[in-house]
Amino acid sequence: MTRCIAAMLAACAALTAHAQYPEKPVRVVVSTVPGPLDTFARMVLDKMSAALKQPFVVENKPGAGGNIAADMVAKSAPDGYTLLFAIDTTFTVNPSIYKTLPFDPAKDFAVISVPVTYGQLLAVHSSVPANSVAELVALSKQKKLTYASGGNGTPSHLSGAYFLATAGIDMTHVPYKGTGQSVIDVVAGQVDSIFAVTTGVLPHVKSGKLRALGISSAKRSALAPEVPTIAESYPGFEAAFAYAFMAPAGASVDVVKTLNREMLRALAQPDVQEKNRTFDYVATGLDPSQSAAWLKDNRDRWAQVIKRAGIMME
């Protein structure tokens, strides 16, 4: 009887501990330098911190396409006090473009949320004589064109390579160490074209320095509804990306549900919705299991695309 009572007390204590999560500051490793992901992460984490009454402390650990940050979190204690915010490509693309990974993207993490998705806008320098995707494809068959990216294996590179493979054309890839400089050089006319986040190139489109030709996601952008999707020229084409909020494998189901719930609540707040609109992000509303399924489906899809396009780390 004494043992039963002791077991019951221990169980109650465990439940109480889970109910009080978090009881101390939570460390959140962000897999990039300060930029779009970091800005989004801090925005929603501030809301979650206020709701859960504990600080969420961001630590930037960029490098190797997110692999450094992911490996660090994968090897952390699964107690809910070390989490990861990464671009989804760490889990959907890296398994196909890196020969080896220091972690298993499918087994070493508990998926909390895939909170938002976003596409890429295909733009060309104003001197490029192409006013549509079809005209760009035709032009590329007449002369050698170039396309910039934020680096090998980044969303801008993947979107570009996927587009070339789909259209059956070739362009010279010019990778940079970040999207910012790549956009600057396309605006300057040093590179002909680029796939980049809508907010990064739209101001230059409006100024007349760049010309927008297509959107990589399945639906048109709310920020630039006049720009057709590439799928309108090539049915089935979709290059959508997302952010991923993860915990180490073995994290409590209750902790994961708590974090997902507070993420959804943060995304539902009017000021966050307005900022997401200006960032051209689309909230998914996915729970943990749906988020895990999203990552798996896109991991399988990108594996086929990467094989078809011949994308590998250079």
On whether both 249 and 110 belong to a single domain, the answer is yes
Residue 8 has pLDDT above 60, yes or no: no
- Is 284 within a domain? yes
On whether both 226 and 154 belong to a single domain, the answer is yes
- Is 6 within a domain? no
Query: pLDDT grade, residue 161 (50/70/90)?
Result: very high
Residue 170 has pLDDT above 90, yes or no: yes
Q: Could you tell me how many residues make up the chain?
A: 314
On whether both 129 and 113 belong to a single domain, the answer is no
- Is 250 within a domain? yes
On whether both 53 and 106 belong to a single domain, the answer is yes
Residue 31 in tokens: 């897999």
Torsion-angle region of 113 (φ positive above 0: left; ψ -120 to 50: alpha; else: beta): beta
Reported as a single tens digit per residue, the pLDDT across 63-120 is: 888 999 999 999 999 999 999 999 999 999 999 999 899 999 999 999 999 999 999 9
- Is 266 within a domain? yes
On whether both 111 and 248 belong to a single domain, the answer is yes
On whether both 171 and 196 belong to a single domain, the answer is yes
The angle, 0 to 180 degrees and rounded to 10, between the axes of the packed helices 270-279 and 253-268 is 80
Distance (Å) of CA 213 to CA 130, 210, 276: 8, 10, 23
Residue 33 has pLDDT above 50, yes or no: yes
Task: Give mean pLDDT, residues 44-53.
Answer: 98
Residue 12 has pLDDT above 80, yes or no: no
Determine the structural domain holding residue 226 and report its residue range. 121-232
Residue 241 in tokens: 């990306």
Task: Give mean pLDDT, residues 174-196.
Answer: 93
Q: Which residues contact 2 (CB under 8 A, 6 or more apart)?
A: none
Dihedral, 9, 13, 19, 22 alpha carbons, nearest 10 = 180
pLDDT of residue 166: 93
CATH value at residue 107: 3.40.190.150
**Average pLDDT over the chain, rounded to an integer:** 92
**Of 232, 259, 274, which closes a domain?**
232
- Is 263 within a domain? yes
pLDDT of residue 7: 47
Query: pLDDT grade, residue 270 (50/70/90)?
Result: very high
On whether both 128 and 207 belong to a single domain, the answer is yes
- Is 20 within a domain? no
On whether both 103 and 128 belong to a single domain, the answer is no
On whether both 65 and 91 belong to a single domain, the answer is yes
CATH value at residue 211: 3.40.190.10
On whether both 126 and 188 belong to a single domain, the answer is yes
**Using CA atoms, how far apart are residues 274 and 140, in angstroms rounded to an integer?**
38
Query: pLDDT grade, residue 274 (50/70/90)?
Result: very high
**Using CA atoms, how far apart are residues 6 and 10, in angstroms rounded to an integer?**
6
On whether both 226 and 142 belong to a single domain, the answer is yes
**Using CA atoms, how far apart are residues 263 and 260, in angstroms rounded to an integer?**
5
Domains held by the chain: number: 2
SS3 string, 128-158, reads: CCCCCHHHHHHHHCCCCCEEEECCCCCHHHH
Task: Give mean pLDDT, residues 120-132.
Answer: 97
Q: Which among 94, 189, 202 is positioned nearest to 151, based on CA atoms?
A: 94
On whether both 113 and 127 belong to a single domain, the answer is no
pLDDT of residue 6: 47
